[in-house]
Structure 1
Amino acid sequence: MSRPTVSDRTVTLAGPGVTDATLAELCAKSSPQCIELESCGRVTDLSPLARVPSLREVIVSNCRSVRYLGPLGQGPGSLRRLVFRRTPVTRAQASDMTGGSMELVADAVGPAGVLRPPQSLVRSSIDLIRNVAGPYRAEEIGIAFNGGKDSVVMMDLFRCAMGTEFMSRCCVFYLGTSSEEFGEVVRFRNDFVRDWGLSLTEPGGAASMKDSLARVKEMRGICVAFMGTRVSDGGHQTDEVERTTAGWPDLVRVCPVFHWDYEDVWGYTLTYGLPYCPLYTLGYTSLGDLSTTIPNPLLRRDDGTFHPAWELTDGSAERRGRFVV
């Protein structure tokens, strides 16, 4: 555990050694007037700060994994100033914290009008990842990544939950079996993996997803696979965590965004500045093969161009640009 620096009722926590457990223990055992968090890349939950009655000021700097604030800054209390520097805050969180006498200073508030996903949904996804991944070694964990919007969100949630170093030792894999993939998707996927300092396992030569997954398991010895599947995708998955069915490689399948809606995915992506495939800016809302995917007709402008994917107002029409030949 990282040791806090204490000076005149101010406690400073800094560096990647600081975790949610570190902060929770500090809040339970001390009564500072000011807490400073600096570059705590593994801290996702600031809600314990709301339980420190002596606290008057909180300064959070460069803590890019913060996702849950709980009741912090809401209602009566001693807290008078809350500062977020280079630490994203959702528009809904900012709105919740500006109704009282407390001063909020934030330089990275999410886009106007973007109020989803609810922070409780994000927290439950992070908790799910930690609970399932915790008993395994990183080398036993697989993370499926195809470059789509859902898998990007899942990757970010995993990094927030488990940390960059742990994630770098996991098996990130792609199960694609199609020869008709968009070039933009291939380039985005490769650039994303490179920028995140990861390596991508591609089994290749497999005729089906089942065969590809079996080959990944054989090559890397994974026991659990995290996927970007959502309930709206259909398929065999019926819950967030399930063991594969008979005939498939024996694995635990985990889908942290299973209960997320289309609007949740884009709200999270835009608020936290996640990268995304450029096809989404051209009106594509769901990406499949070249021969079966077109921009969503509901996003078509009068001049024949298309609004970006996140402007789709009916999430149930997400797959309107996908068809079966």
Structure 2
Amino acid sequence: MTDFFDFFSRLEDLAGEVERRTSNPTLAAKVVHSLAVIDKAFDIYSEQGLAVSFNGGKDCTLLLHLALYAYLHRRKAKGETTAMAKHEGERSEGKEEEQRAGTEGDRAHYWMRILYFWFPTCFPEETQFVMDTTQSLRLGLIKSTKPYREGLQEIIETERPPIRAIFMGTRYTDPSCARLEEFSESTPGWPTFMRVNPILDWSYSEVWAFILAMGVPYCSLYDKGYTSIGEVNNTKPNPALLVEGCTYAPAYNLKEEELERAGRQSRSV
């Protein structure tokens, strides 16, 4: 498995590498734009004031790797060796409680905090992927088992340094997201923070093109025909990917992008 800290630290031009691997200049241009949005968020809120909403889905997986690349190259541009390099091999192996970003000292081992809302109806494969990614990308896991609004309120009120903005893997084609902007205030009635949406204009196929070309790990459910992952009680493999019997093609084989949520009964990730 690729060590993305090492790979991205040495890679001078992510967009150029994407174009080289995919022969897709449009995709490369979207990488450039998304990185610019991420970099702007770092400028406004600083690394310490940001977090990533991460539920194991394909979109936030893409986003997380773009954010990692942007972070590493900001450090490199400043003539710094990334603080994470000092902790090579020092990945947390303790209990889940110890993975959570806690004190200032703990955070020396993390470059970014991620927010994960866990419920009994979450797919076990999704939860395992979140935990694996927390370890491999050296993330500070903030796990909440409360309803979204209540859990987010608690996180916003108690996390130190305060979280002022959250990276979201939202795309325009997601439900109720057609009018979002790259920097959008949270919905009235919700905790106050800035939503940062760097991949709004990415298509389904572009998300998969990046993930596959760059060898980015993804949740195993996508290899079983799931194209949009919600909860176990409202998500099934996409019928458009049914090959024969109960066998489904992988998510990245879906050609009709408008059917991305055909296996879903409600909201998607």
TM-score (norm 1): 0.64
1:76 match: none
1:294 match: 236
Structure 1 pair 218–270 and aligned structure 2 pair: CA distance change class (3 A): same
2:128 corresponds to 1:219 = no
Structure 1 pair 304–245 and aligned structure 2 pair: CA distance change class (3 A): closer
1:73 match: none
1:57 match: none
1:11 match: none
Kept in 1, the 8 Å contact 2:168–2:198? The answer is yes
Take 2:152 and 2:205, find their aligned partners in 1: how far apart are those partners?
29
Kept in 2, the 8 Å contact 1:293–1:323? The answer is yes
2:35 corresponds to 1:126 = yes
Give 1:185's aligned amino acid.
Answer: E
Shift in Å, 1:315: 1.1
Give 1:123's aligned amino acid.
Answer: V
Kept in 2, the 8 Å contact 1:185–1:277? The answer is yes
Shift in Å, 1:304: 2.9
Structure 1 pair 123–193 and aligned structure 2 pair: CA distance change class (3 A): same
Structure 1 pair 281–117 and aligned structure 2 pair: CA distance change class (3 A): farther
Take 2:246 and 2:234, find their aligned partners in 1: how far apart are those partners?
20
Take 1:135 and 1:168, find their aligned partners in 2: how far apart are those partners?
20
TM-score (norm 2): 0.77
Shift in Å, 1:196: 1.1
RMSD (CA atoms): 2.4
Take 2:53 and 2:26, find their aligned partners in 1: how far apart are those partners?
22
Secondary structure of the corresponding residue to residue 291 of structure 1: coil
Kept in 2, the 8 Å contact 1:203–1:215? The answer is no
Shift in Å, 1:229: 1.1
| Aligned ranges 1:155-304 → 2 under 5 Å | 155-163=64-72, 165=83, 168-176=110-118, 178-204=119-145, 206-207=146-147, 209-220=148-159, 221-235=162-176, 238-304=180-246
2:53 corresponds to 1:144 = yes
Highest RCO, 1 vs 2 (Cα 8 Å, sep ≥ 6): 2
Which blocks of at least 5 consecutive residues in structure 1 are unaligned?
1-15, 17-38, 43-61, 70-88, 95-108
Shift in Å, 1:135: 2.7
Take 2:40 and 2:247, find their aligned partners in 1: how far apart are those partners?
44
Shift in Å, 1:203: 2.7
Give 1:212's aligned amino acid.
Answer: G
Give 1:224's aligned amino acid.
Answer: A
Shift in Å, 1:239: 1.5
Structure 1 pair 40–271 and aligned structure 2 pair: CA distance change class (3 A): closer
Shift in Å, 1:272: 0.6
Take 1:40 and 1:194, find their aligned partners in 2: how far apart are those partners?
16
- Equivalent pairs counted in the alignment come to 227
Shift in Å, 1:117: 5.7
Rg comparison, structure with higher value: 1
Partner deviation per Cα, 1:20-58 (whole Å, 9 max, x = no partner)? xxxxxxxxxxxxxxxxxxx7845xxxxxxxxxxxxxxxx
Take 2:250 and 2:221, find their aligned partners in 1: how far apart are those partners?
9
Take 2:137 and 2:7, find their aligned partners in 1: how far apart are those partners?
18
Which blocks of at least 5 consecutive residues in structure 2 are unaligned?
73-81, 85-108
Higher-helix-fraction structure: 2
| Aligned ranges 1:101-112 → 2 under 5 Å | 109-110=21-22
Kept in 2, the 8 Å contact 1:230–1:260? The answer is yes
| Comparing 164-173 and 258-267, the one that deviates more | 164-173
Identity of aligned residues (%): 29
Shift in Å, 1:222: 0.5
Q: Give structure 1 regions of 4+ aligned residues with deviation exceeding 3 angstroms.
A: 39-42, 114-117, 164-167
